[in-house]
Structure 1
Amino acid sequence: MMNRDDMLALLQELILCHAPPGDEAEIEAVIMREFEATGAEVWQDGATNIYAHLPGDGPKVMIAAHKDELGMIVTDVREDGRLGVQNIGGSMAWKYGEGPVDILAGNGEVVRAILSVGSTHTKTGPVAALKENKALTWDLVTLFTGMTPEELDAKGIYPGTRAVVARERKHIQHIGDYIASYALDDRMGLVSVIAGLREMAGRSHDADLYFVATTSEEIGLIGAQRAAHLLEPEIAIALDTSPVAHGTPLVLDERPVIWYGEAAYNNKADCDKLLHLARELGFGAQPVVYNGAASDAGGIKRAGLASRTMAFGYARDNSHGYEIAHRDSIVNVTRLLLRYLEQLG
């Protein structure tokens, strides 16, 4: 199995790839490279999900992690060249703050802009209200581009164009046993999918395995539902970062988080099995029932597209912002995935 240093190096490469929902080409190139290197049968569907198939005669299993990340979508181009934006995928302006962002222009360029709120030296207007009791919402920010509307149009920047946090803000910070960055969600899951595929490609197995990098999870679990519709798996597994959220018993540590409840209630027997296997492996796990989170597995279960579903992943703080996770969780989740697949035969 990949060691932790190799996993973290791959994680950094994936994080630096921009992939807001619907504009995921940068990260797709890395995923295709990694999937094809295993010798598996690899293809991409019309929705842009990417598949790697390791055939077997046993139960059909879909193992998924999503490749999209939170971002912004341009809503209007103003006379001074500033861009109005709104969230795509649940991003919040106050999680980003003022600073550099990258616009993915239609001509293929990555164009620099500054997420701007405005000067604080005033007692009137929306910025004054922000100093007192108003939340920072997307209608109060713009992207400063330093270009005219005509220049922006020539680059292919118009309503519908995507933007994300600037690449230099996406370098992993190492703080003791912890890592922190934007877009740990769900690059950590992709690392485990790739590491799991590599390992299972070199082993004998009975299960019919489909490793899938899904699209558009952040805007409604769309890609996973399409993939499950096409594959018709008996078992669907989602690997995803797991919010250490208010009202849950979760702790920010190296133990995998088992999602018993989320967008739907995942299969209890399989979640129990994961909990048991994690204890056998020596690191244990944290069970959780979420009331404000959803994974690809929950979306598949809710749509009736698999008989059995489960989700598990990496405890993370600061969800949908500058996220923090324990560095060993990426190893432990991968080990748990492999142990679960092994016991299928």
Structure 2
Amino acid sequence: MNHYVDYILEQAQKLLAIDSPSGFTGAVSDYLMEEYRRLGYSPQKTVKGGVLADLGGDGNALMLLAHVDTLGAMVAEIKSDGRLRLTPIGGLNANNVEAENCTVYAMDGKTYEGTIQLADASIHVNKSYNDTARTFDSVELVLDEPVFSKDDVKKLGIMTGCYVCPQPRTRITASGYIKSRYLDDKLSTAILLGYAKYVKEENVVLPRKVWQHATVFEEVGHGGCASIPSDVTELLSVDMGCVGSGLECTERQVSICVKDSRGPYHHDVVKALIKAAQDHGIDYAADVYPFYGSDADAALAAGIDARHGLIGPGVYASHGYERSHRDGAENTLRLLQAYVG
């Protein structure tokens, strides 16, 4: 098992190092295509840019979904002083990105560094510093370039619509904690790769057809709405498990979601997941996520006729500087092995 968990953490670090906010996922999808081929599969890229992989098996199919798109931002306006007003992509929160270093992607492919700061960020100058609500109207991106006007910025190739990617700051501690932006959902994408590696290396005979789908628009709500093969009768999203007040899950467990903001998951799937965890001694928690929606939800909203479920490693501080643990990744992989085959 350690062999596969080591691989998952290695892949998580590689995925986290590739900027991929929703709509800007070409590089990370190309990486996944190469990695699935290296594992011995024949992946397909969807028209939207996601990655589909057929793991084998026959009969009514199970689709495992994880999303490789992340939160991010986009230039909404170049101000007269050369600072940039941003618009968030997905649920990026201004409170969680103040003072974060970022990469700005110009339209010609060049990259520039900058920092998101409160406008007039010097506390020795700004009397209202402590009282100002942090929103994308009150924070701005300060480019690390000698720019003092809108024209100066445009000469760099930066314009409205350029992507801005807060740096992930990935760390894995000696005690096994994984800290980074975008563990939602690159850690789960790495877990799917780990499961695919396990199936191939152990010559697993799958009891049913199994697909994997790395989606690329989950953070804006339509990742799982398309590219579901016609033989799929069950959808299992592998996404971050919520850790917080009123919930049982910790970063060291696999979370089984029984209900999220869009309603309950299919009861037969939930019961089977819980039984698989109990029968195999897997450390799990069952929880309700109050402010959450998954790719499986999106697929059902799009009209897919399938049962659906949601599991994932516990992740604390979601949509901020997130934290999980090696054990959470291992327990999620073990649950996939026990439930799928």
Q: Shared fold (TM-score greater than 0.5)?
A: yes
Deviation at 1:47, TM superposition (A): 0.5
Quote the residue 2:291 is aligned against.
Answer: 292
> Counterparts of 1:103-142 in structure 2 under 5 Å?
103-117=104-118, 118-122=121-125, 128=128, 130-132=129-131, 134-142=132-140
1:287, 1:242 → 2: CA distance?
10
Letter in 2 for 1:139: D
TM-score in terms of structure 2 length: 0.91
Label 1:331 to 1:77 Cα distance change in 2 as closer, same or farther (>3 A). same
1:139, 1:31 → 2: CA distance?
36
Quote the residue 2:220 is aligned against.
Answer: 219
Letter in 1 for 2:282: F
Deviation at 1:238, TM superposition (A): 0.6
**2:145 corresponds to 1:144:** no
1:53, 1:326 → 2: CA distance?
28
Deviation at 1:142, TM superposition (A): 1.0
> Counterparts of 1:234-249 in structure 2 under 5 Å?
234-246=233-245, 248-249=246-247
1:231, 1:158 → 2: CA distance?
42
2:4, 2:211 → 1: CA distance?
23
Label 1:156 to 1:281 Cα distance change in 2 as closer, same or farther (>3 A). farther
Deviation at 1:289, TM superposition (A): 1.5
2:32, 2:240 → 1: CA distance?
18
Could you list the per-position Cα deviations for residues 110-156 of structure 1 after superposition, in whole angstroms to 9, with x for gaps in the alignment?
211111212223465xxx0x513x43111101111233534543544
TM-score in terms of structure 1 length: 0.90
Question: What are the ranges of 5 or more consecutive residues in structure 1 without an aligned counterpart?
Answer: none
- Secondary structure of the equivalent of 1:95? helix
> Counterparts of 1:266-305 in structure 2 under 5 Å?
266-305=265-304
2:4, 2:136 → 1: CA distance?
41
Deviation at 1:80, TM superposition (A): 2.1
- Secondary structure of the equivalent of 2:249? coil
- Secondary structure of the equivalent of 1:309? strand
Letter in 2 for 1:290: Y
Deviation at 1:325, TM superposition (A): 1.1
Label 1:337 to 1:306 Cα distance change in 2 as closer, same or farther (>3 A). farther
Letter in 1 for 2:171: I
- Secondary structure of the equivalent of 1:314? strand
Label 1:151 to 1:197 Cα distance change in 2 as closer, same or farther (>3 A). farther
Question: What is the RMSD of the two structures over their aligned residues, measured on CA atoms?
Answer: 1.9
1:254, 1:209 → 2: CA distance?
26
2:172, 2:95 → 1: CA distance?
20
Deviates most, 82-91 or 34-43:
34-43
2:243, 2:30 → 1: CA distance?
31
Label 1:123 to 1:78 Cα distance change in 2 as closer, same or farther (>3 A). closer
> Counterparts of 1:54-133 in structure 2 under 5 Å?
54-117=55-118, 118-122=121-125, 128=128, 130-132=129-131
Deviates most, 298-307 or 251-260:
298-307
Quote the residue 1:326 is aligned against.
Answer: 325
Are 1:275 and 1:284, in contact at CA under 8 Å, matched by a contact in 2?
Answer: no
Letter in 2 for 1:36: R
2:154, 2:283 → 1: CA distance?
54
2:329, 2:176 → 1: CA distance?
12
- Secondary structure of the equivalent of 2:9? helix
2:87, 2:174 → 1: CA distance?
32
Could you list the per-position Cα deviations for residues 3-54 of structure 1 after superposition, in whole angstroms to 9, with x for gaps in the alignment?
3222212111111110011001232232111111222221111111111113
- Secondary structure of the equivalent of 2:32? helix
2:152, 2:194 → 1: CA distance?
43
Deviates most, 10-19 or 283-292:
283-292
Are 1:259 and 1:287, in contact at CA under 8 Å, matched by a contact in 2?
Answer: yes
2:156, 2:287 → 1: CA distance?
46
Are 1:68 and 1:216, in contact at CA under 8 Å, matched by a contact in 2?
Answer: yes
Could you list the per-position Cα deviations for residues 162-195 of structure 1 after superposition, in whole angstroms to 9, with x for gaps in the alignment?
11113xx522141624221111110111111111
